[in-house]
Amino acid sequence: MQNTQRQYYLDWLRVITILLVFLFHCNRFFDFDDWHVKNATLSPVANFMSFFMVQWMMPIFFFISGASTWFALQSKTGGKFITDRVKRILVPLVFGIFILSPHQVYLERLSHHQFNGSLLDFLPKYFSGFYAFGGNFAWMGLHLWYLLLLFIFSLIALPLFLIIKKNRKNKSERRTASPLYLIAFVIILALPGYFMFPEGFPGGRMWGGWNIIEHLFLFILGYYAFSKPEITKLWSQYRYTFLILTILLTVGNLYLFANRIMFEFGTVFYLLKILLRAAVCFGWIYTLLGFAGNKLNYTNSNLKYGNEAVLPFYIIHQPVIVVIGYFVIQLQLPIGIKYLVIVLVSFVVVMTLYIFLIKKSPILRYLFGMGKMASVEVKTINKPT
């Protein structure tokens, strides 16, 4: 029997994680790395939190995206799958590149003293050169780079996915799987991190702290893991063990970061650091999947609402945060108060735009990758007692 039943805990994790991405981007005004707009005074606490979240936040997105692809392909042909990806991913990406990105680049150039003038003066210059290569045109949609990579990965990996799907149909389901599968995942993720120089392209870790190939491997591994239900049972079975080990590994990784302990590329110590990085990443993925699968594998009206809102929320959140943060950081307030103001005001604005504008407009629903509006009552299903 194939693992084709919808796993609601993946939807819960997707909604929860996008809220963490929202908090992460609100934090970016205050950490040590360069960003679109920065506060005059930076915070070691904010820098610490950014590093902690980077270790697993976007990786779990790609892993869950791979899992979702497995379930999607159970009822779709390859052609239908790509058509849906165009509507749900490519259309919002293009919309974001041309409509939601120009003002962000403008505020970045303004705050970095690289341009002086109004937004209208800047708009013609938006198409001058490519962002990240000395120009302004945000070809990846800035924060929407996740959609860009996900679309490309879907095209690249589809033939492999269809082969895995076909082979899975011809094999009986095993009852148990060795934990060595999960160790192998860590090693596979470490390979591109170790062999690819972490500067430039494609080994550069400008994609949420990871390189492109690492994200591709996470996407494929997510698909493969959920094609074999015996693997998915492992993180539920060992969730407490994963929690303890992951906390210990994370403490070690944070110690290296806090003390700025670096190792030369290609050395044995560099390999150990990359293995630690991959272990921390998958440790949090296994832990979160384990506890979520045990406690959150049910649906209700709240999940239905969140599941529909998650993509437009992701698309619109940073364009709102950058504008609000640009003005808030100019106030004479403590960093903690500034952060809270940015979080609260941005969340209210994003949800207001979604509820009263995006959600009710057929055109905007299409541009934000949403399906046609439907009013269906959803009852709680499979809620644990």
Can you give the pLDDT at residue 6? 79
Statement: the pTM of the whole predicted model exceeds 0.75: yes
What does the pLDDT look like over 317-359, one tens digit per residue? 999 999 999 999 999 999 999 999 999 999 999 999 999 999 9
Indicate whether 110 belongs to any domain.
no
Indicate whether 17 belongs to any domain.
yes
Q: What DSSP designation does 349 have? A: H
Indicate whether 237 belongs to any domain.
yes
Indicate whether 69 belongs to any domain.
yes
Residue 382: pLDDT band with limits 50, 70, 90: low
Indicate whether 232 belongs to any domain.
yes
Q: What is the mean pLDDT of residues 270-286?
A: 97
- Find tokens 């390189």 and name the residue: 211
- Find tokens 């949403």 and name the residue: 370
Range of the domain at 160: 8-101+138-367
Can you give the pLDDT at residue 172? 53
Say if residue 385's pLDDT is above 60. no
Indicate whether 330 belongs to any domain.
yes
Task: Determine contact, residues 279/186, Cβ cutoff 8 Å.
Answer: yes
On average, the pLDDT of the chain sits at 93
Indicate whether 125 belongs to any domain.
no
The total domain count for the chain is 1
Say if residue 383's pLDDT is above 60. no
Q: What is the mean pLDDT of residues 263-270?
A: 93
Say if residue 282's pLDDT is above 90. yes
Can you give the pLDDT at residue 277? 97
Can you give the pLDDT at residue 71? 95
Indicate whether 216 belongs to any domain.
yes
Q: What angle do CA 19, 72, 302 make, to 5 degrees?
A: 35
Say if residue 371's pLDDT is above 60. yes
| 225 φ, ψ (degrees, to nearest 5) | -60, -40
